[in-house]
């Protein structure tokens, strides 16, 4: 059963930003946002991997994007 909720004008404008197409309902927008939040949780291992990668990158151990693109035949 549908229900009505009240949101402030500012909140409504923020929700409009997430519309993928003009006829998308606010219910769809809110559900998409909630799904992204639920799916976006990082595991402890993922966080550790990201932290390690950042340390390596800051230490100059990474490859620059131009070299990687060339290796895979991608034009930038």
Report how many domains make up the chain.
2
What does the pLDDT profile of the chain (76 residues) look like in tens digits?
A: 788 889 888 888 888 888 888 899 999 988 988 887 777 766 777 778 878 887 887 787 877 778 878 888 888 8
Residues 22 and 49 both lie in one domain:
no
Q: Say if 62 falls within a structural domain.
A: yes
Q: Which two tokens stand for residue 38?
A: 């639920």
Residues 74 and 58 both lie in one domain:
yes
Which residues does 76 contact at the CB level (< 8 Å), separation at least 6? Answer: 65, 66, 69
Check residue 46 and give its pLDDT.
73
Q: Which two tokens stand for residue 48?
A: 């550790």
Q: 54 is in which domain, residue-wise?
A: 43-76
Residues 53 and 31 both lie in one domain:
no
Could you tell me the pTM of the whole model?
A: 0.49
Residues 35 and 48 both lie in one domain:
no
């Amino acid at each position: 059963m549908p229900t009505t909720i009240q949101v402030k004008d500012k909140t409504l404008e923020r929700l409009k930003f997430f519309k993928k197409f003009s006829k998308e309902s606010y219910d769809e927008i809110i559900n998409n946002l909630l799904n992204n939040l639920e799916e976006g949780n990082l595991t402890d291992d993922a966080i550790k991997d990201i932290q390690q990668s950042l340390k390596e990158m800051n230490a100059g151990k990474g490859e620059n994007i131009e070299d990687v693109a060339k290796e895979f035949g991608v034009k930038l």
